Amino acid sequence: MVVYALIALIAGVVCGRLAGDFPVFEFLLAHSEMVLNFLMFSVGVSIGFQKGVFAKIRQYHIKALIIPALVIVGSFAGGLIGCAVTGYPLAEGTAIASCMGWYSLGGITIEQLSGGMYGGIAFLSNLMREILSFFLIPLLIKWLNAASCIAAAGATSEDTTLPMMMKYTTEEYVVLSVINGALCSAAVPVMITLCYQIFG
């Protein structure tokens, strides 16, 4: 998926540079908000399909909820510090950090709200989180604990980084990892909304 996403982004940049006023491209740019709404509906449907996750959350109770809650708070706090370092507006900075590694949705949602620059940063920053956490998991399990690996992976802990969790942690943490990914993913659009509501 990362490769396809990068190809789509680069193709978009090249087309925008060379033929941005091509009618099909102008139509797409004018209607991207509608496409995003369709995507959000589809994302909701796939969360609704995950009936197993709902059952597991009931089984693990508070333990299942504490990691995602802390990941959401930690990412938001990281965004606040990032704003202090870079001088970015609080709404954009916290929203970028609150994507928790979901680069595709984060990038396109923030692009809709704040334009290409912030969308690009949200995309890149969260793509980096996915890639970095993938390679950091073996080190985090050695230096810290299994829950820390889930925290670094953020919303990606249910898909792209899950194989690393399977390799380096126990079955229990693999289940917690899937629950964390599902809950963090569902929280991404909510957190982006919240960041713009609080600071916008």
Contact status: 181 vs another protein (CB under 8 A): no
Contact status: 182 vs another protein (CB under 8 A): no
Please report how close the Cβ of residue 57 comes to another protein at its closest, in angstroms. 14
The encoded tokens of residue 196 equal 């713009």
| For another protein, the closer CB: 43 or 57 | 43
Residue 101 is given by DSSP the state: T
Contact status: 71 vs another protein (CB under 8 A): yes
Residues of span 31-50 touching another protein by CB under 8 A? 32-33, 35-49
The encoded tokens of residue 9 equal 């982004």
The encoded tokens of residue 159 equal 């898909």
Contact status: 86 vs another protein (CB under 8 A): yes
Q: Which of 3, 4, 23, 55 binds another protein (CB under 8 A)?
A: 4
Contact status: 52 vs another protein (CB under 8 A): no
- Count Cβ atoms within 10 A of the Cβ of residue 191 and give its class: 0-12 exposed, 13-18 middle, 19 or more buried: buried
The encoded tokens of residue 122 equal 């949200």
Residues of span 111-170 touching another protein by CB under 8 A? 111-113, 115-117, 119-121, 123-126, 128-129, 132-133, 136, 140-141, 144-148, 150-152, 154, 168-170
> In whole angstroms, what is the distance from residue 71 CA to residue 53 CA?
18
CB atoms within 10 A of CB 122: 29
Contact status: 189 vs another protein (CB under 8 A): yes
Cα of 172 vs its chain's centroid, Å = 23
> In whole angstroms, what is the distance from residue 183 CA to residue 69 CA?
9
Q: Which of 64, 97, 179, 183 binds another protein (CB under 8 A)?
A: 97
